[in-house]
């Protein structure tokens, strides 16, 4: 294919990705090194608010933003280098935590960024084997089922994957929240008062459960599709060699599915690493937060209307760094394949 033809084909897609993904990314990178501050002046203000029976008027010194002649607030932008990253990562506090008499790991996890990173990484890594394992088990079991039953079984299995994530998370939360029916059932069995959403670990387990519930069907479809193309000859010769059922699974089927397992693992790593819907759906901010939620929280205007743009940018660059590190092994594999071709 000629180079010009190639570019003509890819141009629309590349332009879209450049404008809507690369450009914001670059601006985020730049913003993480700059700090934009407002300019405040102190003024004495008399303000009146409703009271009973008459309005309450108070006179007080207030900080007010300085506006220019067009009525637009004045801001000052300055280059701060790694300062924002320092505020986020708090190296001094980390050093103190691990020095003699420091709080150790628990003091480290008190800092939001490490707290979020800790949960995000455990969340990603623990759900990964479950997604692949459960997906594979469902695929094998469906493959085992009577042909006429497969249609309905596949239909039901796909449900958790296709329904809207926010709705899925809420539907699970409703089962447990307060005296939700599953909590009530547990209480009935154990005969004690249980409050699922009062414990950090319960959040952690439920959020992971939700993620596996949501993604395992995706893994299942992919693996199920792969199972249909297992080479029957290899399987038969394995039987002739006297391989047991488990050995056939281990030495014939799994290697055949390996590229698909890598594919699912890759997609899952990327998606789980930017977990966000779970925090919103389960309202777990008090107990467990994720890296993307941290960025989102910085970006949400606080009660004075400020967005912590610099910290959000720095947090997202660190998040990016994390995902790149996670992706290096599978990317390395792709690179080798590409070279070998």
Partner 1 sequence: MSQPQAEALRQPLSLRLTSGVFLVIWMLIAAFPLFWITVMSFKLPVDSFAANPLSVIFGPDTRAEVGGLSPLDIVLGIVGIYFAIRFARHLAALARMVSIAGQAWLGWIVAVLIYTIAVLVFFVGIVPAVSAGLRDALGGGFLLDPILGATLTHYYSVWVENTFYHQFINSLIVTAGVVLISLTVGTLAAYAIARTGSSIAFWLLIAALIFRALPHSVLVAGYLPPFVNSREILMPLWESGAVGWFFQLFGDEPPTLYGRHWAVIIVLVSINQPFTIWMLRSFFMSIPAELDEAARVDGCSHFQAFRRVIIPVMWPGVITTGLFSFLLAYNDYLVTSLLLDAQSQTMVPAISGYFNRETTTTDQVEAVAAAVSIIAPLFILIMVFQRQIVSGLTAGAVKG
Partner 2 sequence: MLRTLLLASAGTLLTTSAALADCAFENELPLSSLSAGFEAWYAVTDAMAECGNFEAELDQEFRTKQPTGFAADPSLYHIGGVANGTLVPLLNDGTIRPLNDLVEQYGQQLTPNQLITIDGDIMAIAMMVNSQHLMYRQDIFDELGLEVPTTYDEMLQTAAAIQEAGVVDYPIGGTFRTGWNLAMEFINMYLGHGGQLFNADKTPSINNEAGVAALERMRALTEYMDPEYLGSDSTYVQQQFQQGDIAMAVLWASRAGAMDDPAESQVVDLVTMAAAPSAVEGAPPASTVWWDGIVIAENISDEEAAAAFQVAMEGMDAEMVQANNDAAIWLIDGYEPNRLSEGAIANLMGGTPPYPASTEMGLMHTALGDNLSDFLIGAESAEQALADAEEAYLTAARESGLVQ
Positions touching partner 2 (CB under 8 A) are 35, 37-40, 43, 45-57, 62-65, 67, 71-73, 76, 87, 106, 110, 112, 177-179, 195-198, 200, 283, 285-287, 297, 300-306, 308, 310-311
Phi/psi at 76 (5° precision): -125, 125
**Closer by beta carbon to partner 2, 194 or else 266:** 194
Least distance from partner 1 to the Cβ atom of residue 53, Å? 28
> Which of the listed partners (partner 2, partner 1, none) does 48 bind, with a CB threshold of 5 to 8 Å by partner kind?
partner 2
User: Whole-number minimum distance, CB 168 to partner 2, in Å?
Assistant: 18
Residue 306 binds which of partner 1, partner 2, none (CB < 5-8 A, kind-dependent) = partner 2
Please state the closest distance from residue 84 (CB atom) to partner 2, in A: 8
Select from partner 2, partner 1, none the partner in contact with residue 171, using the beta carbon and a kind-dependent cut-off of 5 to 8 Å: partner 1
How many other CB atoms sit within 10 Å of the CB of residue 197? 19
**Which residue lies nearer to partner 2 by CB, 46 or 233?**
46
Q: What is the CB neighbour count within 10 angstroms for residue 301?
A: 9
- Measured from the Cβ of residue 140, the count of other Cβ atoms closer than 10 Å reads 16
CA–CA gap between residue 33 and residue 322 (Å, rounded): 19
Q: How many other C-beta atoms can be found within 10 angstroms of the C-beta atom of residue 137?
A: 14
User: Which residue's CB is nearer to partner 2, number 12 or number 50?
Assistant: 50
Looking at the Cβ atoms of 302 and 337, the one nearer to partner 2 is: 302
Helix (H, G, I), strand (E, B) or coil at 330: helix
- Spatial neighbors of 187 by CB under 8 A, at least 6 apart, are 179, 193, 194
**DSSP character at residue 33:** T
Q: Token pair of 77, please?
A: 């932008």
Interacting partner of 29 out of partner 1, partner 2, none (Cβ under 5 to 8 A depending on kind): none
CB of 68 to partner 1, least distance (A): 16
Burial of 230 (0-12, 13-18, 19+ CB in 10 A): middle
**For residues 62 and 75, which CB has a smaller minimum distance to partner 1 in the complex?**
75
């Amino acid at each position: 294919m000629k180079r010009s033809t190639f570019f003509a084909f890819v141009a629309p897609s590349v332009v879209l990705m450049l404008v809507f993904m690369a450009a914001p990314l670059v601006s985020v990178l730049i913003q993480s090194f700059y700090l934009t501050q407002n300019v405040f002046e102190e003024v004495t203000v008399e303000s009146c608010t409703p009271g009973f029976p008459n309005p309450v008027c108070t006179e007080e010194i207030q900080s007010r933003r300085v506006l220019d002649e067009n009525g637009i607030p004045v801001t000052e932008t300055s280059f701060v280098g790694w300062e924002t990253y320092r505020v986020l990562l708090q190296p001094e506090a980390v050093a103190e935590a691990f020095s003699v008499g420091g709080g150790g790991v628990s003091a480290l996890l008190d800092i939001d960024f490490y707290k979020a990173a800790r949960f995000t990484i455990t969340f990603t890594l623990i759900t990964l084997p479950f997604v692949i394992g459960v997906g594979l088990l469902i695929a094998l079991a469906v493959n085992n089922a009577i042909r006429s039953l497969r249609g309905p079984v596949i239909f039901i299995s796909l449900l958790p994957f296709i329904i809207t994530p926010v709705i899925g998370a809420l539907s699970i939360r409703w089962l447990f929240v307060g005296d939700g029916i599953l909590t009530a059932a547990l209480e009935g069995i154990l005969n004690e008062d249980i409050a699922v959403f009062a414990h950090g670990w319960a959040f952690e387990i439920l959020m992971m459960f939700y993620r596996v519930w949501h993604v395992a069907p995706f893994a299942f479809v992919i693996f199920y599709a792969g199972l249909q193309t297992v080479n029957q000859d290899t399987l038969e010769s394995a039987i002739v060699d006297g391989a047991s059922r488990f050995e056939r699974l281990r030495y014939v089927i799994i290697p055949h599915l390996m590229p698909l397992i890598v594919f699912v693992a890759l997609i899952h790593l990327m998606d789980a690493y930017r977990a966000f819907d779970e925090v919103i759906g389960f309202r777990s901010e008090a107990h467990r937060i994720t890296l993307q939620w941290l960025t989102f929280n910085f970006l949400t205007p606080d009660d004075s209307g400020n967005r912590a743009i610099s910290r959000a940018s720095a947090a997202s660059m660190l998040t990016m760094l994390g995902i790149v590190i996670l992706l290096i092994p599978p990317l390395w594999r792709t690179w080798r394949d590409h070279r070998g071709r």
